[in-house]
Amino acid sequence: MDFGQAWHDHLALVEFAYNNSYHSSIGMAPLEALYGRRCCTPLFWDEDGERQVEGPQMIQQMTDAVEMIHESHILHPTEVQLDQNLSYVERPLRILDRKDKVLRNKRIPLVMVQWQRRGTEEATWELESRMRSEHPELF
């Protein structure tokens, strides 16, 4: 969808679409997680608190854009184990690389960690000392 130079005029619609889209990390839409139910209305509140309704043409454009995104980015949700407080702890899968971050008079050993349910492109650099203490099975 092309908003041209006036993308900021449509920011509320983009935020609405984002907050009502399925997020695999939490297994639902953010608004559903927050309020316990989905929000399926084209209404939103502006900065001054007044309720506004977008016209049917804008709603149809957004619906078409969301359908196009869903078709091009097919999601395959997986089962995740949640703690009692409904949090998800991601565990490291393996160490991919090592490097030293050198500051003026200090050397900081880092390791690149691949996390469960994530590809190598989403690996992160972590402190080696922390990973050794929390996950010694990786070393």
Which residue is listed with tokens 């590809």? 119
Domain boundaries, the chain: 7-72, 92-138
The whole-chain average pLDDT of the chain stands at 77
pLDDT of 52 strictly over 70: no
What is the torsion angle, in degrees rounded to the nearest 10, for the CA atoms of residue 135, residue 137, residue 138 and residue 139? 110
131 Cβ partners below 8 Å, 6+ apart? 92, 95, 111, 113, 138, 139
The pLDDT of residue 45 is 46
Using an 8 Å Cβ cutoff, are 43 and 53 in contact?
yes
* pTM assigned to the model: 0.42
CATH class of the domain defined by 92-138: mainly beta
Cβ-proximal residues to 43 (8 Å cutoff; 6+ apart), any chain: 51, 52, 53
How does pLDDT run across 2-49, given as a tens digit for each residue?
656 666 776 777 787 788 888 888 888 888 888 777 665 555 444 445
Kindly state the tokens that stand for 19.
Answer: 């907050």
- pLDDT of res. 12: 74
